[in-house]
Structure 1
Amino acid sequence: MLLVLLLIWRNKFKWCGSPLYGNQGSAGGIIAFRYTELVHATKNFSEKLGGGGFGSVYKGVLSDSKTTIAVKKLDGAQQGEKQFRAEVSSIGLIQHINLVKLIGFCCEGDHRLLVYEHMLNGSLDGHLFKKSNNADAAVLSWNSRYQITLGVARGLSYLHQSCHECIIHCDVKPENILVDTSFVPKVADFGLAAFVGRDFSRILTTFRGTAGYLAPEWLTGVAITPKVDVYGFGMVLLEILSGRRNSPEIYNTSSSGSYHVEYFSVQAISKLHGGDVKSLVDPRLHGDFNLEEAERVCKVAGWCIQDNEFDRPTMGEVVRVLEGLQEIDVPPMPRLLAAITAQPGAAI
């Protein structure tokens, strides 16, 4: 189906051959840009907003509308081409308040660029994991955090359940969640997105997301389902709750050099079982948060990161729980994470 979508787009835009430009190159609001236009808009790619494994993102301004844009310049011919096609074929065909808006693209010669709406407040990780010694850094309020969790859940639910084809993002993490001036979240970076036809429930793909957010099934090589996004979302929830990374912490347990690995996700569910969610919440909030909502977030996160994909909720169910429309029980401890934590000297 991805090939069919690409052929449709090729016919609409005549891209990667004799591309059309400006208003003539637009369909459904997506514009085909000349490379020189984007060089001018970004002042020769002088202001870098961020980067990743596939390329870098630069700030720009469209000359005709004064619209501020974010231009992703893809690196690497083969992998860049894959990401380029995946992003245009997925986010280019849909619109949702909690999905980043694709304005246009450039496919000229060896150049592969994607043009997005610019999010003034950047990505979520920049707000969650600020240095504690930065006195000027504003702490993300609990209300903003909760609205972000709900918005991201709605965006992922739309991808999984409301599109013509189910779209699996495959790389849900704070770096891929952008926030606008009102801290409305936008799920971004669809370079690893996979399509699942409505007549199928899973898809086999070689794509992998980011360590720390990978569901166990990624490691076994089986065909994946939208539940891999649910797992990643669960890990993001714990980071929003605590304001800290989920990366494992290593403690020396004896003079012999053995060590103990501790995962925050295991600690969080242990605290939930003990009725002590309050101690998990970001201390920089100084107690200014809604305990009922915090417990709800922790419960949802615990179910989302279960080892067995069938034990995890759908994103639609997650939205209903976060909206307070559906109750949820206390989740069991994920056995895989608990087993790794319980093994002194275990490899990470």
Structure 2
Amino acid sequence: MFFFKCMLLFLILCRFVSSQQEDVGFTYNGFRGINMTLDGLSQIADNGLLILVNTTKSQVGHAFYPQPLSFINSSTGNVLSFSTTFVFAISSEATTIAGPGIVLVISPSRGFPGALSSSYLGLFNTSNIGNSSNHVIGVELDTLQNTEFNDIDDNHIGIDINDLKSVKAVPASYFSDKENRRVNLSLYSGHPMQLWVEYYGSKKQLNVTLAPINVPKPTIPLLSLKIDLSRFMVDPMFVGFSSSTSSLDVSNYLLGWSFKMNGQAKELSLSQLPKLPRRGPKTTPKIFSIGFPVIGVSLVFMSIFIIQFIVARKKKFAEVLEDWELVYGPHRFRYKDLYIATKGFHDKELLGIGGFGKVYRGILPTTKEEVAVKRVSHDSRQGVREFVAEIISIGKLQHRNIVTLLGYCRRKGELLLVYDFMPNGSLDRFLFDHKSTTTKTTLSWNQRFQIIKSVASALLYLHEEWEQVVVHRDVKSSNVMLDKELNARLGDFGLAKLYDHGGDPKTTHVVGTFGYLAPEYARTGKANPSVDVFAFGVFLLEVACGKRPIEAEASEECIVLVDWVISSWNRGAILETVDPKLEMNYEVQEMELVLKLGLLCSQCNPTARPCMRQVVRYLEGEIQLPELPFLTSESTGEISFWCPSLESRMTSIVDSLLSGGR
């Protein structure tokens, strides 16, 4: 019994010690008073700065955490997860070239007898480099390109296993979350930078992340490697840093270090880190040798000028921030940036004028990204309401066939929306603007058919696949934008209405564009998906026939596009309505499908129209389009599925006008 109790106590003690080892962690915001194992040139300055190596040529320096650490789980044999981060600086007297850099090292020993300096980084020599018995794992910050070790360049981050030929290496850079792109860095710039190294034991994945000291940790690592470290480690191991010098004047520094086993390393307090030494000789400004009276008078006049300039500039670029905008704060642009991007909203940058304002081309000054800036008119009848609606709706929509809203800006009475730039403008310019020198290209039938399917896909997403039902209320060719490859995206959500799935749309003020308004919408003011289906039907006929929905200058039978196509269908000559610019270069079955589907969608009876999911399936050939009947004349007294006459259609248009539609 006594023996059993002793064994139990021993096992508990071992478990406690193992647990303590597995959870070890430390954080050094500077190294003043810290017990580090140093050798070679390594030393701790009075202000707490750890100097790994200085400008002494061809020497090495090591700095290690003094206690050995158990990286291996004794029960599974796998390496535990661990995380570490440190702030470093590499300063070179030469601005275009540096010497060897710094290595974060995990090794069985803190000593490296016979290790060479220069490109060997104080870790190996010619006899032991590459030996599997080294059990050395390193993350190198290398500033010297050595062809012997297959270095990719003289400014890279690499993962080393028992060798200085990196298993994986990438040029020094970081992913800017703010700019959404990679930004190059110079390791030997002399500026402090931060490195994060994280190993996930369960995934067997090693991540390395780099960033300037004034940039938060990027979300995307610089380097990621699938590797099982248990193949290379023994127990216990030491963790620390190694560095060396060459014939160049280089100094390598550590400002802070944090480490955690089985967890996330604690963040360093950057404000508490020691300062780096001054670079270059201290100079006395020549201004102090000039007469102080002259300087004083000049400063007074200069101060007055600067204050006036700042006041005028602030007034010019003053912005408005209301409570509802706090939700969308991250997408808010500065008016100053948009003003610069559009060259002061110069007429040369004007892309077009829509129902709610002007659209300008711009290049953002920070990212050099090309954008379209929509500047809502001061005298807009709905103004802020459309502006808010567009932010709430399109600001959250994510679909390949919807124009991306990048952000917005408010400034006094001005409302500005920033979109992805669509180099080819709107579809209507290709269909109708025959005189324009910028739209001489005639869209082929294949291109038109793909545009139709893209717009249908966008409307299906809005009606059924997003978190709410979105009724666009202004589907037309001028609101379909074309990118560089002539891919279509639906845009201009200024009139959009949202309501919950299964809910009942409320009656609203009738808005939209004449020729696209569903008759029941003009009567009831209720905007539901069927309203968009009607407009989409008119849009289909636009694209296929190359005609606007209403052409006042056309012959009487051709004034209303839908009526003209119905008349041709009744005569059995629906293909006579095809855009003559296509010159018979189209698939007859596809063309008939589009024309018939246009008539099916633009019926006056909303319950007889298909939903957008059915429309997409018709276009993809998944289901057959129902056969359309011939329209009966008014004299028979029978009621057609379609509005019976031009007179009734024009009556609907007049009703819409009286209801306030545009």
Instruction: Please indicate the TM-score interval, normalised by the length of the shorter structure.
Output: 0.7 to 0.9
What is residue 7 of structure 1 aligned with on the other side? none
What is residue 9 of structure 1 aligned with on the other side? none
Query: Which one of the candidate residues 322, 325, 337 is aligned to 1:16?
Result: 322
Q: Does 1:50 align with 2:352?
A: yes
Q: Is the 8 A contact 1:153 1:318 kept in 2?
A: yes
What is residue 181 of structure 1 aligned with on the other side? 484
Where do 1:19-30 residues align within 5 Å? 25-26=329-330
What is residue 220 of structure 2 aligned with on the other side? none
Work out the CA distance in 2 between the residues paired with 1:343 and 1:316.
27
Deviation of 1:42 after TM superposition, in Å, equals 0.6
Q: Which has the higher contact order (CA 8 A, sep 6+)?
A: 1
Write the letter of the residue equivalent to 1:196.
Y
The structure with more radius of gyration: 2
What is residue 585 of structure 2 aligned with on the other side? 288
DSSP-derived class of the 2:382 partner: helix
Query: Which one of the candidate residues 217, 236, 253 is aligned to 2:520?
Result: 217
Distance 1:286 1:198, change over 3 A: same
What is residue 598 of structure 2 aligned with on the other side? 301
Q: Could you tell me which runs of 5 or more consecutive residues in structure 2 were left unpaired when the two chains were aligned.
A: 1-319, 632-639, 655-662
DSSP-derived class of the 2:322 partner: coil
1:257-283 alpha-carbon deviations (Å, 9 max, x no partner): xx7775321221333344433222111
Distance 1:343 1:264, change over 3 A: closer
DSSP-derived class of the 1:158 partner: helix
What is residue 463 of structure 2 aligned with on the other side? 160
Where do 1:1-348 residues align within 5 Å? 15-16=321-322, 25-26=329-330, 31-46=331-346, 47-76=349-378, 79-131=382-434, 137-248=440-551, 262-332=559-629, 333=631, 337-340=643-646
What is residue 5 of structure 1 aligned with on the other side? none
DSSP-derived class of the 1:107 partner: strand
Write the letter of the residue equivalent to 2:361.
K
Distance 1:343 1:192, change over 3 A: closer
DSSP-derived class of the 1:85 partner: helix
Write the letter of the residue equivalent to 1:16.
E
Work out the CA distance in 2 between the residues paired with 1:270 and 1:311.
20
Deviation of 1:337 after TM superposition, in Å, equals 3.7
Distance 1:274 1:96, change over 3 A: same
Q: Is the 8 A contact 1:260 1:345 kept in 2?
A: no
1:313-343 alpha-carbon deviations (Å, 9 max, x no partner): 1111111100111111233456664322599
Deviation of 1:52 after TM superposition, in Å, equals 1.8
Distance 1:307 1:18, change over 3 A: closer
Q: Is the 8 A contact 1:299 1:329 kept in 2?
A: no
Write the letter of the residue equivalent to 1:279.
E
TM-score, length basis structure 1: 0.84
Distance 1:135 1:49, change over 3 A: closer
Q: Is the 8 A contact 1:230 1:304 kept in 2?
A: yes
Distance 1:269 1:329, change over 3 A: farther
Write the letter of the residue equivalent to 2:604.
D
DSSP-derived class of the 1:131 partner: coil
DSSP-derived class of the 2:645 partner: helix
Write the letter of the residue equivalent to 2:427.
L
Q: More deviation in 47-56 or 74-83?
A: 74-83
Q: More deviation in 145-154 or 72-81?
A: 72-81
**Higher normalized helix content (fraction of residues):** 1
Deviation of 1:41 after TM superposition, in Å, equals 0.7
DSSP-derived class of the 1:105 partner: strand
Deviation of 1:15 after TM superposition, in Å, equals 4.3
Q: Is the 8 A contact 1:204 1:224 kept in 2?
A: yes
Distance 1:318 1:57, change over 3 A: same
**Higher normalized strand content (fraction of residues):** 2
DSSP-derived class of the 2:470 partner: strand
Work out the CA distance in 1 between the residues paired with 2:618 and 2:487.
19
Distance 1:158 1:286, change over 3 A: same
Distance 1:19 1:228, change over 3 A: closer
Q: Is the 8 A contact 1:277 1:294 kept in 2?
A: no
Q: Is the 8 A contact 2:509 2:525 kept in 1?
A: no
Q: Is the 8 A contact 2:563 2:645 kept in 1?
A: no
Deviation of 1:199 after TM superposition, in Å, equals 2.9
TM-score, length basis structure 2: 0.46
Q: Is the 8 A contact 1:261 1:344 kept in 2?
A: no
1:126-151 alpha-carbon deviations (Å, 9 max, x no partner): 00013279798121110010000000
Distance 1:144 1:295, change over 3 A: same
DSSP-derived class of the 1:235 partner: helix
Write the letter of the residue equivalent to 1:62.
L
DSSP-derived class of the 1:79 partner: coil
DSSP-derived class of the 1:50 partner: strand
Work out the CA distance in 1 between the residues paired with 2:324 and 2:516.
40
DSSP-derived class of the 1:307 partner: coil
Q: Is the 8 A contact 1:212 1:247 kept in 2?
A: yes
Work out the CA distance in 1 between the residues paired with 2:438 and 2:361.
27
Work out the CA distance in 2 between the residues paired with 1:63 and 1:303.
48
Q: More deviation in 39-48 or 276-285?
A: 276-285
1:11-50 alpha-carbon deviations (Å, 9 max, x no partner): xxx9436978xxx942xxxx21111111001101111111
Count of matched residue pairs: 322
Work out the CA distance in 1 between the residues paired with 2:416 and 2:427.
23
Q: More deviation in 129-138 or 237-246?
A: 129-138
Distance 1:79 1:275, change over 3 A: same
